[in-house]
Structures are given as C-alpha cells and as structure tokens.
Amino acid sequence: MADIQKPRFSVSITPAVELEKEDNNHGPMTVLHEQIRKSVGGGGTCVCPDDDLVVNGTFADGVSTPVTSNSGTLKTLNGDEELVYIKHTGLNQAGSSSGADKVKVETADGTSIMELQSGEFAFFPHYAGGAGLIQLETSANTCQVEYAYFTRG
C-alpha cells in the first residue's frame, strides 16, 4: 500500500471587542463582535500520493532559516495549484527588531497581493496558470521572512 501525504491546514479569526470597565456594572472584558458573533475561518486537506507532494522553502529538518525580503523572487510557480505560506519574522537582516517595516508580497509585474506586518503570516492557494512569480519587497529596510510552498502533483 502506498503512503499518502495529507498536509492539513486551517485558519480562524475571532472578531473580539475589548470593553472598558464600567463602574457599578462590570469590569473590563472581551466579547465577540456584535454583528458577527462567532469565529470565522476554514481549512482543508491536500491529499497526494507519496511521490506527488513537493514541499520546499526555508525549512529543513524542522528548522527554518529565513531569507531576506529583498532577495528577489520567492519562487517560480510552475502553473500547478500551490499552497503558499509566508511569515514576516519581525526581524531585520541583522536579527534585530524590524520595527514598522512591512513585507510586500507581489506578483512578478509588481502587482501587490498583500503586505505583512511584523509577526503576521499568510497561507493561501495560488494558481498562476504557468507564469506565476511571487516576489517579496519591504517598505523600508530588509526583513527576514520564512516561507514554504506545497505543490499538488
């Protein structure tokens, strides 16, 4: 029987509101946003025969060695659907705090996909139809970024 790889992913957001203390009523508390009233999110599984899942990025043997955001192209996508993970580590090139510097995630023609602030990450499916470069830039100084991508064969 062949091995089956099943990378699982899930993301959720809980829209919280912090209420200040009201004398003679209640102390400070955090509640769910009135309009949404629940956590929202989703997830899935990428099911692949053992030889068909390709995992690459900054990870090796369970350890991530971040790349710098100004190192150009993150990866040339081959047109297959890819699951991409990118995280702004919060560190600059020297390993100190990156402060307010943002990491810009763009396509090869400079079209902005998103900006990540210190500590933020993104995990998204990306289908480029055969011409999909993803590149990273920063708003000011060079930041350290970790990433991984999963190709379904």
* pLDDT of residue 1 exceeding 70: no
6-45 pLDDT, tens per residue?
777 788 889 999 999 999 999 999 999 999 989 888 877 7
> Based on the domain organization, do 118 and 57 belong to the same domain?
yes
> Based on the domain organization, do 78 and 96 belong to the same domain?
yes
> Based on the domain organization, do 72 and 136 belong to the same domain?
yes
* pLDDT of residue 130 exceeding 80: no
Count Cα atoms within 13 angstroms, Cβ side, for 141: 15
* Region class of 34: left (phi > 0), else alpha (psi between -120 and 50), else beta: alpha
| Domain at 94, CATH number | 2.60.120
Q: Which domain holds residue 93?
A: 51-152
Confidence (pLDDT) at 84: 81
> Based on the domain organization, do 33 and 55 belong to the same domain?
no
Q: How far, in Å, CA of 127 to CA of 105, rounded? A: 15
Higher model confidence: residue 72 or residue 143?
143
Nearest one of 46, 62, 49, 74 to 135, comparing CA atoms: 74
Instruction: Look at the chain and report how many structural domains it folds into.
Output: 2
> Based on the domain organization, do 33 and 108 belong to the same domain?
no
Angle at 131 between CA 129 and CA 136, to 5 degrees: 120
> Based on the domain organization, do 85 and 119 belong to the same domain?
yes
> Based on the domain organization, do 34 and 55 belong to the same domain?
no
83-125 pLDDT, tens per residue?
788 888 888 777 788 777 888 888 777 788 899 999 999 888 7
> Based on the domain organization, do 70 and 93 belong to the same domain?
yes
> Based on the domain organization, do 85 and 135 belong to the same domain?
yes
Higher model confidence: residue 2 or residue 19?
19
